[in-house]
Structure 1
Amino acid sequence: MVELKSSEFNNIIQVLDNERVHCTFAYAVVEGKQPGRIYSDNNIKPTCCLIVCKSGKYLVAGDTNNASFNEFLSDYLYDRENHSNYFDLYSSSQKWILKLDELLADNAAKLSRQLFQWNHSSLPSIANFSEMLPEGFELKRMDADLFVKYSKEIDSSYINLWGYPNNFVSNGFGFCIMKDNEFVSICNTYYVRQGFAEIDIITKEQFRKQGFALITCSEFIKHSVNNNIKPIWDCDDGNERSKALAEKLGFQSVEDYQMHWWHENKSFVESYLKKFNYQIN
C-alpha cells in the first residue's frame, strides 16, 4: 500500500468519479483545498483508496476485493494512533458498507444520513431574509480575524479543517451575525470542492428559534449562487431541526445513505444514538 504524494492526488479522481462519490471533503483533499492524506493500492493507476481528511472524516472507495488493501484498511482503522478521538467513515458504495460491517463489527456505530441540494427556484423566497435582522445585531462576512475567534471560542476543529486562517479566506467563506462583538449565528463552508460548498451552521443556544440561522444561511446561499457555487446540506437523518431548516431555505433531499462512526467515548455514542432515535442493541 502507498501513500500518495500531493502531486499524485489527482490520480484518484477517476476512482471517485466512477462511483459518483458525493463527499465534498474527499474532493477537498484531492484538490488541495483542505488538509488530508490519501492511501491507495497504486500511485499511478489506483483501483481503491482511503482518503483521510485531517478533521476526522474518511472515505473508502473503489474495489472492495483487493485483499492487501482491505488488510491495510483494517490495520489503519484499528490503530488508535491514526485517529484523534473519533472518525467518520464514508463509503463509495453499498458493497463497501457491507465490507466495513465485517471489518468493524460492533466497534463502530452505523448512522443514516441525508444529502440535500439547493433548488435554484427558491432564490426569491430567501432573498430578503437579511431584512429580518433586529436592531443591535450586525451581519458580517467571515474574515481571518473572525476565523481565529470562531476557532478559539466555538469550534476548535476548524484548525484541522482549514490549517490556517488564510486558507479559509482563500478557499472558503462564511457569514456571521454579531452582537456586542460576540457570535450569535455562524454559517461557514465546512468543506469545499470546485463548484461546491458544504454548509456548517451553528447558532448559540440563547439565540435559537429567532430566525438568525435563516439569515446567515441565506447570505451563504446568495454568495454561493453569485459565484456559481452549489451549496450542499448534509445531516443525520434523525436531526429533524436541521432538516426543517434546510427545507425552509429551499434544499431538497436527494440521497439517503449510511456511514460508520467510531468514537473513543462509548457513552457519548450511546447518547447521540438516543438523541436521534437509533435503536441501540
Structure 2
Amino acid sequence: MIYEANNEVRKKLIPMFENIDSTIVLSYLQGHMGTAWVDNLENPTVAQITVGIFVFYAGDPNTKEAEELLYNLPEFTLAIVDSDEWKNRIETVHNGAIEKFERYRFKKDPEHFNRTHLQNILTSLPEDYEIKKVDNNIVNLPSFHELSEDFVSQFDSIDDFVNRGVGYAIIHEGQVVCAATSFSIYDDGIEIEIATHPQYRRKGLATITASALILYCLDRGHYPSWDGANSESAELAKKLGYIFKESYDTYFIDNIK
C-alpha cells in the first residue's frame, strides 16, 4: 500500500533524493509545489515525487510498493531515476509502453553567464515585436496558453503564477508568439519553460525571451535552471552561457489505458 506524503514525511525524503540533480525535485522537497507518495509514513523506504509530468523515484526499487508507485502516474509521464536498478524496474514494469531518451543537464553556476552578452541579445528583437514581462493581461491571453500549458500548470492558479512565478513574452500583432517562464520554483531560483509558435521559429525569439528571463533572475539572486529536453534545447542553452554537465536517461511512459 502507498500513502501520500505530508510535510513531515516530505522532510524525511530529502536524503533519499539527494543524488538526483534536479531543481524540479527541490521544488517539492522545499515545499513549493508537487506531491509525493511513499510506502510508509513513519519510515519510508521507497518514494515517488511528481511535479507536473515529471516523476522521480528513489529508495528500494525491489518492493511491491515500488511497483505500485510505478503505476501511480499522470497520463503522460517523464520518469527520472538515479540507478540502473530503477531503470531495470521501469523497463520491466512498463515493457512495451515506454520510450527511453536522453535529456541534458547543465552546471548550475551564475558566474557562467555574461550579462553583456545577454543584454546584447535583447537588442536583436525584430521590428514590430515587443517583449514584456508576463503580467495579468498577458497571462490571460489565449495565445499565451496555446504555446505551452506548462507555463503555469504547476501553480495552483493563474493568480498563484503571477504572485510566485515569472515570465517574459514576445508579442507580435497582439499575439504571444514566444515565451519563457518559470515551469517550477525552488528556494534559490526557477526551472525554465520555453516555447515558440511554430510559424515564428528560427527568428531568435527563444534566445531573446530566455535572455530576458535569465537577466531578471540574476538581478534578484535567483538561479535560472535549464534542463534540455533535446539537442536543440541543449544548443540554445550553450548559446546563452550554460555549460554542459551530462546527459541522462529519461523514460516517457504512456499511461493511457
Shorter-chain-normalised TM-score: which range? 0.7 to 0.9
TM-score, structure 2 as length reference:
0.87
Counterpart among 195, 216, 219 of residue 188 in structure 2:
195
Question: Hey, what does 1:51 align to over in structure 2?
Answer: 49
**Aligned pair in 2 of structure 1 residues 219, 159: CA closer, same or farther (>3 Å)?**
closer
Other structure's SS at 2:44 match: coil
| Matches of 1:209 and 1:47, distance apart in 2 | 47
**Aligned pair in 2 of structure 1 residues 223, 117: CA closer, same or farther (>3 Å)?**
farther
| Matches of 1:217 and 1:177, distance apart in 2 | 11
| Matches of 1:129 and 1:158, distance apart in 2 | 22
Question: Hey, what does 1:22 align to over in structure 2?
Answer: 21
Question: Hey, what does 2:3 align to over in structure 1?
Answer: 2
Counterpart among 127, 141, 147 of residue 139 in structure 2:
147
Question: Hey, what does 2:247 align to over in structure 1?
Answer: 256
Counterpart among 53, 58, 63 of residue 61 in structure 1:
58
Identity over the aligned pairs, expressed in percent?
Answer: 24
- Which segments of 5 or more consecutive residues in structure 2 lack a partner in the other structure? none
Deviations 1:202-254 (A, max 9, x none): 12223222222221111111112112222222223xx3322221111011211
CA contact (8 A) 2:106 2:226 kept: yes
Cα RMSD, aligned residues only: 2.4
Query: Are 2:127 and 1:127 aligned?
Result: no
Residue identity in the other structure for 1:42: N
Other structure's SS at 1:235 match: coil
**Which structure's residues are more often helix, by fraction?**
1
Question: Hey, what does 2:163 align to over in structure 1?
Answer: 170
> How far is 1:167 from its partner?
1.8
> How far is 1:60 from its partner?
0.7
| Matches of 1:115 and 1:142, distance apart in 2 | 26
| Matches of 1:151 and 1:10, distance apart in 2 | 36
Q: How does 1:1-281 map to 2 (within 5 A)?
A: 1-6=2-7, 8-17=9-18, 20-34=19-33, 36-53=34-51, 55-65=52-62, 67-74=63-70, 76-77=71-72, 83-84=74-75, 86-117=76-107, 120-123=111-114, 124-149=116-141, 152-158=145-151, 160-236=153-229, 239-263=230-254
Other structure's SS at 1:259 match: strand
**Aligned pair in 2 of structure 1 residues 173, 32: CA closer, same or farther (>3 Å)?**
same
Residue identity in the other structure for 1:106: G
CA contact (8 A) 2:171 2:177 kept: yes
| Matches of 1:241 and 1:92, distance apart in 2 | 24
> How far is 1:5 from its partner?
2.2
Residue identity in the other structure for 1:117: K
Other structure's SS at 2:32 match: coil
| Matches of 1:106 and 1:148, distance apart in 2 | 39
Deviations 1:76-133 (A, max 9, x none): 25xxxx533x111111333211221222222211111111236524323222221222
> How far is 1:156 from its partner?
3.0
**Aligned pair in 2 of structure 1 residues 160, 212: CA closer, same or farther (>3 Å)?**
closer
| Matches of 1:197 and 1:23, distance apart in 2 | 11
| Matches of 1:121 and 1:159, distance apart in 2 | 28
CA contact (8 A) 1:186 1:203 kept: yes
Number of equivalences: 253
> How far is 1:151 from its partner?
5.5
**Aligned pair in 2 of structure 1 residues 157, 230: CA closer, same or farther (>3 Å)?**
closer
**Aligned pair in 2 of structure 1 residues 265, 64: CA closer, same or farther (>3 Å)?**
closer
**Aligned pair in 2 of structure 1 residues 122, 213: CA closer, same or farther (>3 Å)?**
same
CA contact (8 A) 1:58 1:89 kept: yes
**Larger deviation, residues 114-123 vs 99-108:** 114-123
CA contact (8 A) 1:117 1:231 kept: no
Residue identity in the other structure for 1:62: G
Residue identity in the other structure for 1:182: Q
